[in-house]
Structure formats: C-alpha cells, structure tokens
A and B are shown apart, each in its own frame.
Chain A
Amino acid sequence: MKYEACIGLETHVMQKTQTKMFCGCKHEYGAKPNTNVCPVCLGYPGALPVMNARAIELCCKAGLLLGCGINPRSKWDRKNYFYPDMAKNYQITQADEPLCLGGQLTTEVAGETKTFTIERIHQEENAAKNTHISGASLVDYNRAGTALMEIVSNPCMHSSSDALAYMTALKQIMEYGGISDCDLEKGHMRSDVNVSVRPVGQKELGAKVEIKNMNSFGFIVEAIEYEIDRQIGVIENGGTIDQETRGYDTDRGETFSQRTKEDAHDYRYFPEPDLLPVEISAEQIEQWRSELPELPAQRRARYVSELGLPEYDAGVLTAEKAVSEFFDETCQKTKQYKLVSNYLMGKVASLVTEKEISIADSELTAETLAQVAELVAGGTISSSAANELIEVLFTEGGDPKAIVEEKGMAQVSDDSALEIWADEAIAGNPKAVEAYKAGNAASINALMGCVMKASRGKANPPAVIALLKKKLGA
C-alpha cells in the first residue's frame, strides 16, 4: 500500500516590539537575567496586563502579508498550566477568536509552485527561560511576557521538502514584513510539527503525532522524515498510531514518546477577564495594508524588470532581507546594478561566510560599495583589484579612493609604462610572437599574462591588448 504524509506546522514567531506584550518592560536579547521585569511579567499579586498595540499591529500585518482575514473582534483567553516558565501559571493567549483567520503562502518546492493554507494566527505572551543546572533550575523572566504570535498551518504539507519550503518562505516574509528578526539562534522562530500518515486516497487524516518546540530547520526536516518512516513502519507491521507528543533526539536522529493522549493537559481555557476584546476597524486594517512593505516575490520582479538583473541574481539577492536592503541602498548611489549584484553574491558573500560577520556588522557600507562599482566601471581599478578593495573595506572600512591610492591599486593605462612591459613581453616570448603572427590569435594571451605579471595586476587589460596588437603589426 502507498502512504501519504500530512504535515502541519504551528510556528511561534517572536515579534519585533520595543516592549513586552502586556507590560512596559523592555524586550531585549542578552540582557542580564531578571533585569527586564516588573510586577506584571513576574505575576505579582494585583498586577494587571495592558495590551501592547504595536504587537497587535505586527500580528495583523503578518496576517495581511499571508492573505489572512483580520477579525474585527477577537478576544483573550487564559490557558492554565503549572510550570516555572509561566509566572502566573496561566498564559494569556487567544483560543477561539484569534486576530487573523485563513490565509495562504505560495512558494516553490523543487521547481513546482505550491500553495500552503494557513488556518489562523493568534497573539500570545512568551514564557520565561528555564535553565537546569545540577540540583537546581534557574528562571530568567526577561523573556517572560514578550510578544509571541502563533501561525498555524493546515495539515496541507506532504513531505519534509514542503515543510522546509514553507518555513523558509515564512521566515522570509516575517523578516521582510518587519514582523520579526527571525533569528533562529535567538529562538525567534520555533515550530511544533504535526505529522500523520494515511493510505493514499483516504480522506480522513491519520492519528496526529506532535513534535514540540523545534527551532532548527535541519532538525525539523530530519524529524519529519524519521516520523513518516516510523509511522508507516508501525502501520505496515499491523500496529496503530496513537495520538501523542514526541520529542526529537538530535544525537540519535529519532523521535521518542513524551506524552500520550491520556495524560494530555486540560488547559481549562476561559476568557481573560483582565483584558477587553480587541476591536479593529476596517479603516485601521486598510491603513495597515497600505503600510505593508514589498515582499521578496515583488522585489525579485522589480530587480528583473527595473534593474535588468538576471532572475538568478534577483533570487540570490532577495533570499535575505538584509542583503536585499543593502543592495537597494547601494543602488540608490550607483547605476552599476549588475556590478553591485556580482560583488554581493561573490566577494561580499564569501567574506560574510569566511569572517562570520554579517554585512550590517562589517565595515562595508552602501556608499563604499557603490564607489567600488563606480571605480571599476570608470576603469580606475580592475576587477581583481576591486575584490581586494572590498576585502579592505569589509574588514577595516575607509575611503575607497584613498585606499586605491595608498595601496597603488589603480590600473595603469599610461602608454609609456605599458610600452616598456609590452616590449619586455615581446622580447622574452619569441615563440608566442611567432605563433600569433602565424594566425594563432589566442597566443596573445601569453604576452598579456606577462604584462599583467610585470605590472602586478595594475595594467589596464584592454589597453594592453590594444598596445600588443599594434606592436605585433596586426
């Protein structure tokens, strides 16, 4: 029998807000533990939540970017559970009336365009961070109460590559939309993955297994693949799949049972009496819609149609929001779009990998990169000198023209200097000269190489070719 997997993702995205969801505490990564806290986020007696309007805006904008409908009236609920990561021992979330409903995400999976549907997006508050040390547990409430939204897809994906494409596109949209920095290392984006299998042709979904709290795309892919194989194996051996929660052991590459349906929590949801329902007018929604930023797909199209870049370049440049923004900024200062694209995809990208420094954290600026492109286009420096110059600007920064001067990177086009190197090359390579004269046009490259070597790369190649041709009487 053939089986089909059905995969759904519940993705938690930490929003880019200045303050927490229900109090005025700063939302900041890496602060000293328990310094961004107050009676509200510490669950002190008598403290009350107040909604962060910016978080609501970001959640709705995320919904608009994903084609969701915005609920004109949504409400808050309490989700009750005891654990030291939740100071009040209940989480304020949205159970049955979320901010955003419906929606879809269209992306490419192995060259095929697919649309994945989204059930809902709701707003909630984040938990504190627990660290378990020998004999004790430490709780850092800095993260407690930060704004967190949950994007719930339908179980509409059928393979790990579907899930990977969905997550990648989702991450890109969240970054582009300014909703979240989506830094996976900082836990800005975590997913619970639901996996079930069913015989091909069957309509009802199989029993759902949930793999909780994964932040690495790679591990999610592995876990899905393992889980699909495991479930099919169980069924083929005559067994049945039970609804349960499983964890993923990254060392062994296996999922393992954590909690069965019988001991599932009863969260005892009920409406949050401390907060009023959220009411959003049609005018507000239109206002937010008009403020939505350009998405990767729109941006790719613009690069091709307006800047004349190849599709390939447009795809690479828009993969990361920071890169494409740097590109856009640079293109404000130079019209050498293709050159800028080449450097960003080539030298700059390799420096980012090699030095492990992002463009933003490097010394390179849109202004200096634009100048590099202008220097190349104007013939002042060669392409190889440009790479050298970019490395200096990336690591040390500075004024490109001054560096060119200081390091003697300018191309030599001056005939008198070139003439000496050309004469030396002709004198030192009689065989190449002979071959050229006999009709082997490519032989001129050997002479050209000698000139470039003698000039230590500074000779202007078109000028050298012209001079050699003249001297060889062609």
Chain B
Amino acid sequence: MLNTKTIAELSAMLAAGECTSVDIVSDVLAAINARDGKIGAYLTLDRDDALAQAKAADAARATGTTGALLGIPVAIKDLLNVKGQPCTCGSKILEGYSAPYDATAVAKLRETGAVLLGRVNMDEFAMGSSTENSGLGKTVNPWDAERVPGGSSGGSAACVAADEAVAALGSDTGGSIRQPAAFCGCVGLKPTYGRVSRYGLTAFASSLDQIGPLAKTVKDAALLLGVVSGHDPADSTSIDVPVPDYAAALTDDLKGMKLGLPKEYFVEGMDPEVEAAVRAAVKKCEELGAEIVDVSLPNAKYAIAVYYIIATAEASANLARFDGIRYGLREDGADPIELYGKTRAAGFGPEVKRRIILGTYVLSSGYYDAYYLRAQKVRTLIRNDFIEAFKQCDAILAPVTPTPAYKIGEKTGDPLKMYLDDILTTPVNLAGNCALSVPCGFSSDGLPIGLQIIGDSFKEANILKVGHAYEQATDWHKQKPAF
C-alpha cells in the first residue's frame, strides 16, 4: 500500500523505478474510497484529473525530469486557490466559485510535478479549532471517530493521518496547522511569517496567516517546505531570505543545541497526560545531547486576547469581499445593501459572523485605541519575549494543546472555551516566528499528543533538526490508527 509511505520513501521508489506516480495516486484514491466516507477529509476530488497529473509526472520522469515531489500526491486545504478547482474555504458563500489562478505555493508544487490531489475540509475561512465550523462537511479524527480532528486544517491533518494523502498543505493563523497535527498524530509546520508566499491563500488574518506542510515525518515536512518557500514579488510581505536545503540538514543527534523550556507554557488546566508526554519528550531531547535551559515568555498569557482582536479586525475587512456581486453565492435584494445583507446572512456560518462582528467592533470609531491599538502594542511585547528567549536557546519546547482531541460537539456551545485552547499556539503567530508539531505520545484513550518545537524567525532548519532527531529516537510517528 503505497499510500502509507512517506514522501522520502516514495521518491526513492519512483527514482528506482519500483513504482509509478499512477500506482501511488491509485493507492491513495483507493484509501479515500475505502474510508473517507467515515473520515470526511475531502470536500472535492477530481479523480480523473489526479490520475492525469500522475501520468504526466510519470511521463516527465521517463524523459529524465527528477525532483523530490515529482509524482507525489499532495492534498490542498480548501482555502488555497488551484486554477480551475473550487475554493470554497469551507463556506457556503463560495459555493460555485472556481479559482481563476494558482496560489504561488500551489504553482510551486505544480512546477515540481507534485500531483495536486483534492481539496480538504477546514473550519469556515479557517475560523475554528475543530473543523466543526465547516459549512460544507464533517471531518472526524482518524484515531477516534467521535472526536474532532482539530482545526482549522482538520481535513489536511486527518487525510495525512488516515493515509488518504501522502502529505498536505494547510494554513496556520493561530495554530491551525500545529493543533490538528497534534490531534491527529502527524507532523505540522507553521513557517516564519514571510517564508511562504500568501498569494492565493484566501486571507483570514493577513498579518498572521502562513501556509505550511502537514506530513507523516519531519523529513517530509522539510521537503515540502523547501518547495513552497521563497520570496514572491506578488506578496509584499514575503521576505527575500535564501531557502536552505532543509531536508539535507537533518541529523540524528542534538549535540550542542540549547533548548528552552518556558514555564508559562505548562498552563493551569493542562491535561496531566499531555504534560507528562511533553516532559518525557524534553528528557529524550536531553538524552540526544541537547542542553535544556529555562526561558520565560511572560506576555504569552495575553496572546489569546490580542489574537482575537487583531485576527478578527483583519478578518472583518478581508471577508468584506464576499458580497455576492462578482462570484459565489448571491441572494438578491432590492438594492446593493440588501443584497449584501441577505447574501452574507445566508452564506456565512455563525462563527464567521461572530468574528466579523467582533472585528468590526474593535475597529469602530471610539474603540480603536482601546482594542486594536493596544493589542498591537501587546503584540510587540510578545514578539520581544521571543527575541529575548532566543538569545538563550536555539529552540523552545512546549506542548501544542492543553488536551488531546476532544469529543465532537463538546465545546461548540462555548466559543470562549474553544478560543482558550489556542493559548499555546497563538503567541508564535503574533510574534511571526516558526513552530513545528511532532507526535510525542498517546493518552490512555489512545489519542495522539503533540510536542511543539518553536524556532526563531527563519530558523526552520533548527526546529526541523530537533524534530527529526527526536522522531528518529522514538516511534510515535510510526503508529497508525486502526480502520
């Protein structure tokens, strides 16, 4: 079953002529046929198109083309534009929209010959932590169908964990790659802000959004990151910093590395099993040669408040374009204002509406200084905390989430409780640096637990190195959910 293999393994097999891209895609499609009815990761999937891309990749290989992703199927989170495919962002308001262009990250995948597989589910416009806010479908956790896969990149994490894709692209605004990766037991990387072009990524919160990989191993995440990274003139916030060969720099030990442990990240109310697993992982890193130092991120506790002001403010403007005039859903009205009102009332789900209202409120005349402006100031403090911490260490170790995956419906009645789950992931988005989630154990219920490895800006190589060495010394990533 080729669908269970990693990018690195499949690449080697393809290069050796032991399999074809068509074989891989066929096995992936078979897995999707067999179990996606239960998992619900995919929103749309053009099987013929996927096979045609695989054939083209095989033909390219026959003429001497090579590449780490040539012929490898990658699932795409439904908010990245792929030319000619739908891009609903998990929302009814974009039903019927067909993307007229490729996102830059997608174009880079296409150039290397990766097979752009189907579109996977997410919380509507990436707003949520459980994929329960999708307006279009229900995705469950492959480890326990009664539990959420996490979110917002829940479809991306679930399809990788269930071997319904070899790897996937997701996006992370406040933890949307790392948290579902932790819940589903796969690897997820949020790159430094500016590392991957946002062009073609439907914006939720422009100053926080980053595209990143979800994969079965750290090495696969490194391979995928290497392809999608780099400066893009079409995204003014993408930064012109050289892209190292992330995969080539991976090693098996951590000698000479200093890893920080922030006391503020072991929060009250944290599941003891999660804390135990993360502390055991820290110990393992020490055994691998790393020096563990205490660091402090004193302003991290404000991250949730700051995040829900800045993200919703930006979202309130970003989502204004979904108005029924040019594309997507339209509910007619007597005048434009009525048309907007009816279209948006019908098209957006309750969480999206809640955040648009929040964002509109915090930007309103008379409230701007108290909320938005103050939030920006605290954001600077949070960023400074990380700058200070990275003077003492090469990477920071922490949990990803306070608990393992929770039950479907458990938190939907209490949005604030759901927001608080982002407490360990949002500081990194606010600071703009990078972080990795790797599997580090299981709860007594058999649910995956994630270790968060936080790096300084553009130091993805550091966290990949730590993640890879830890992964090689453990076998959490090799465990598969039962079907």
Q: Are A82 and B235 in touch, CB under 8 angstroms?
A: no
Complex Cα–Cα for A42 and B101 (A): 13
Question: B193 to chain A: closest CB distance in Å?
Answer: 10
Asked if A238 is at the interface of the complex by the 8 Å CB criterion, the answer is: no
Chain A residues with a Cβ under 8 A of chain B: 39, 42-51, 78, 80, 82-84, 87-90, 137, 139, 266, 268-270, 273-276
- Provide the main secondary structure of the chain B interface: loop
Closest to A43 in B: B321
Closest to B340 in A: A82
- Segment of B147-155, B275-283, B322-330, B434-442 in the binding face: B322-330
Inter-chain contact A45/B317, CB cutoff 8 Å: no
Inter-chain CA distance A88–B327, complex, in Å, is: 12
Residues of A within 8 A of B313 (CB): 270
Q: CB of B363 within 8 A of chain A?
A: yes
Q: Is B372's CB within 8 Å of the partner chain A?
A: yes
Complex alpha-carbon distance, A137 and B325, angstroms: 11
Q: Are B336 and A276 in contact (CB under 8 A)?
A: no
Q: Are A46 and B320 in contact (CB under 8 A)?
A: no
Across the interface, do A82 and B326 meet the contact criterion of CB distance under 8 Å?
no
- B interface vs A, CB < 8 Å? 79-81, 87, 89, 94, 97, 99-101, 103, 198-203, 205-207, 233-237, 313-314, 316-317, 320-323, 325-327, 336-337, 340, 360, 363-365, 368, 372
Max chain B Cβ within 10 angstroms of own Cβ: one of A42, A43, A47, A88: A47
Query: Which residue of the partner chain, among B200, B237, B320, contacts A80 with CB atoms under 8 Å?
Result: B320
Q: Are A273 and B325 in contact, CB atoms less than 8 angstroms apart? A: no
In the assembled complex, the CB of A141 is this many whole angstroms from the nearest CB of chain B, namely: 8
Q: Is the CB of A82 within 8 A of B336?
A: yes
Residue of B89, B236, B321 near A88 (CB, 8 A) is B321
Question: What residues on A are CB-neighbors of B340 within 8 Å?
Answer: 82
A45 touches B236 (CB 8 A): no
A78: B residues at CB distance < 8 A:
317
- How many A-B Cβ pairs are below 8 Å? 104
- Do A82 and B320 contact each other (CB < 8 Å), given the known contacts A45-B87, A45-B89, A270-B363? yes
Question: In the assembled complex, how far is the CB of residue A435 from the closest CB belonging to chain B, in whole angstroms?
Answer: 84
Bound CA–CA A88/B322 (angstroms):
8
If A48-B199, A50-B234, A83-B336 touch, does A268 touch B325 (CB 8 Å cutoff)?
no
In contact, A48 and B234 (Cβ under 8 angstroms):
yes
Main secondary structure of the interface of A (DSSP, over half): loop
**Residues of chain B contacted by A275 (CB below 8 angstroms):** 236-237
What A residues does B199 contact at CB under 8 A? Answer: 46-48
| Nearest A-chain residue to B321, judged by Cβ | A43
- How far apart sit A89 and B103, CA to CA, in the bound complex (Å)? 22
Bound-state CA distance A270–B361 (Å) is 13
Q: A78-B317, A88-B320 are in contact. Are A44 and B100 (CB under 8 A)?
A: yes
Assembled-state Cα–Cα distance A84/B337 (Å): 9
**Distance A270 CA – B317 CA, assembled complex (angstroms):** 10
Residue contact A45 to B94, C-beta cutoff 8 Å: yes
A87 near B336 with CB under 8 A, answer no
Which B residues lie within 8 Å of A270 (CB)?
A: 313-314, 317, 363, 368, 372
**Interface contact A274-B320, CB-CB below 8 Å:** no
- Complex Cα distance, B328 from A42, in Å, reads 13
A46-B203 contact in complex given A88-B321, A137-B336, C-beta closer than 8 Å: yes
Q: Is the CB of A46 within 8 A of B237?
A: no
Pick the residue among A42, A82, A273 that contacts B206 (CB under 8 A): A273
The answer to whether A46 and B80 touch across the interface, beta carbons within 8 angstroms, is yes
**Are B236's CB and A51's CB within 8 A?**
yes
Can you list 17 A-B pairs, Cβ within 8 angstroms, ordered by A? A44-B101, A44-B327, A46-B79, A46-B199, A46-B200, A50-B234, A50-B236, A82-B337, A84-B325, A89-B323, A137-B336, A268-B360, A268-B368, A270-B313, A273-B237, A273-B314, A275-B236
